[in-house]
Amino acid sequence: MTLNGKHVAILGVGRSGRAAAALALREGAIVSAWDNAGIESFAGMPDAVEKHPNATEEDGRGLLADLLVVSPGIDTYGSYVAAFSANVSEVVGEVELASRYYDGRIVGITGTNGKTTTTEVIERILAHAGLGGTACGNYGTPFAEVVMQANPPEVVALELSSFQLETISTLHPTIAIWLNFAPDHMDRYPMVEAYRAAKLRIFENQNHQDTAVVRLGEFTPNLAANLVTFSTEDSSADWYSQGETIEHGGETWIDMYHDTGLRGLHNAENLMAALAACQTFGVDSQTMRAALSGYAPPPHRCELVRTLDGVEYLNDSKATNLHALESALRSQTRPVVLIAGGKEKGLDYASLVPLLVEKALSVVTFGQIARPLADIFSKVVNCEAVPSLAVAVATARSLAPRGSTILFSPGTSSFDQFNGYEQRGNTFRDLVHQLR
């Protein structure tokens, strides 16, 4: 694909947009950047880029370009993108653009939950094996930045959200990982089938020489790639774990408690997917164990913040959907006081009720959906709705007896009161450390 002399328009000027602009410039394109934000948001955009702040749909309808690169944060099917793409030859995302200039192999990772932990583990193992494995895409560095390195890695661990997969056309993962699927982002997709269809695009360019690593029992279409399965429920899978060891081919490859800092069935699944991918590149179990020594999961993912008065405080702010909340709650072995809540995303939380009966002593809800959640949960467990996270932490402490766990696993996004799950998790961590 040649961009020399072509007009490439960048829609959205965050980090991925800046990376796409720089790559397009390197390839000889004439580049413009558009965003509905003010000029201050264009900081860091290369000087050679023609900048268009406060861009409207009317501006978009007047755009003539050979290629439009859309930020994953902008609704691909919304009126804003429709306006900008009206007179454009092709619409892609930054990961698709970058893939066209990358000669190495791609491990693509998708799923509703667990993507980042899996991506980190793959990066760590492949780096230890001398294969690169740089984490990029939805986590880590934008793919375009990796492509522009003087010596790009032989393999990349490319985390792919549904938003990024909406805008691919030729992206070809040598290995495609499907971790799990549950309803999410129903504020963006008209129905759950549309969300699933976007994620399933990870497989569409694979062939019989490639590998698909899939959680056993997940619905996937007829795959052209070689199928490798993993499970914590069915020992007939290619990779199996009961939550303590990872078994493959009749052998124990990893002892989670001895070889890693990962705990719980959900992390066993993430780990198996990563190991299966790396084994495809010929990495042996000894190298994997050495790579995982000292590894701990990323922050905000069932992170132990503190033990106070015999009560554990776990920060699972990354649980931005119902499936993540269910996974965190199911993995607990102590009685739980759950803190949940945040933005209204149109999810159905009634399915959580049986698990609350089994695991929870009490629930504290907060944020925009505090009252709707309390109305559902209070039917089976003591539940208190409060306005803020600070009040939620104090309330949960008053409800948690010695030997229990206060699990902060919101089950929805943070944008009603915070600018992201990281700020939300950091706030929880700070509030817990302030307790006396």
345 in active site: no
> What's 108's DSSP letter?
E
113 in active site: no
Q: Which of 7, 51, 52, 115 is catalytic?
A: 115
* Whole-Å CA distances, 279 to 22, 157, 287, 288: 34, 14, 10, 9
Q: Which of 138, 180, 267, 270 is catalytic?
A: 138
Q: Pairing between strand 211-215 and 226-231?
A: parallel
| CA–CA dist 401, 369 (Å, integer) | 26
CB contact at 8 A, 6 and 64? no
| CA–CA dist 286, 310 (Å, integer) | 37
138 in active site: yes
Continuous H helices in 300-400? 322-330, 353-359, 370-377, 389-399
Q: Which of 51, 52, 185, 266 is catalytic?
A: 185
330 CA to centre of own chain: 20
- E-strand ranges in 226-359 read 226-231, 239-241, 245-248, 251-255, 303-308, 311-315, 336-341
* Whole-Å CA distances, 178 to 7, 109, 121, 351, 424: 35, 7, 15, 23, 27
| CA–CA dist 76, 344 (Å, integer) | 21
Q: Which two tokens stand for residue 177?
A: 């990982």
| CA–CA dist 370, 38 (Å, integer) | 34
Q: Give me the active site residues, please.
A: 115, 138, 185
